[in-house]
Amino acid sequence: MDKLTLGLSTTVIGMLVVFFGLVILIACIYVMTSITGRKSKKPAPVTELKKAPLPVPAPAVEESVQEAEDDGALVAAITAAVALIWEGENNQSGFVVRRIRRVSSGNARARAAREEQIFSRM
């Protein structure tokens, strides 16, 4: 019976310590936010609903037929390269290229990470 009461008292004391620790942590966070002056921004109440003018659609820009042909050739070349690599590995998983999209140059870190991923497989 002594072991049961000791176990229960230890459990209750542990739960109380955790509860009060969380209360102290919440209080510290509240004090730090009041010191730094960061408040959650609440949206301003809407007093009047103004109707914004509808944007005028821009005239459609026609793409040249030659660009579509170049994209088709590019897609075919990429698909053939991927198929050749997968064939060389004897992998019959039914891999299919569904979409190819151009990646913008972005920042230097992202470009370096992409290049590292690409060249680590070679």
Identify the pLDDT of residue 65: 46
Going from the first residue of the chain to its last (122 residues), give the mean pLDDT of each consecutive group of 10, the final group possibly shorter.
92 97 95 80 60 61 51 78 73 67 72 82 68
Identify the pLDDT of residue 73: 78
The residue extents of the domains of the chain are: 65-120
Residue 90 DSSP label:
T
Distance CA 51, CA 81 (A): 54
Identify the pLDDT of residue 79: 79
Burial class from Cβ neighbours inside 10 Å (0-12, 13-18, 19+) for residue 9 reads exposed
Identify the pLDDT of residue 46: 59
Residue 49 DSSP label:
-
How many angstroms separate the Cα of 93 from the Cα of each of 23, 45, 88? Answer: 55, 57, 13
Identify the pLDDT of residue 21: 97
Identify the pLDDT of residue 18: 97
Identify the pLDDT of residue 83: 76
Q: Are 39 and 33 in contact (CB under 8 A)?
A: yes
Q: Is the pTM of this model over 0.85?
A: no
Burial class from Cβ neighbours inside 10 Å (0-12, 13-18, 19+) for residue 82 reads middle
Q: Are 77 and 95 in contact (CB under 8 A)?
A: no
Q: Are 102 and 74 in contact (CB under 8 A)?
A: no
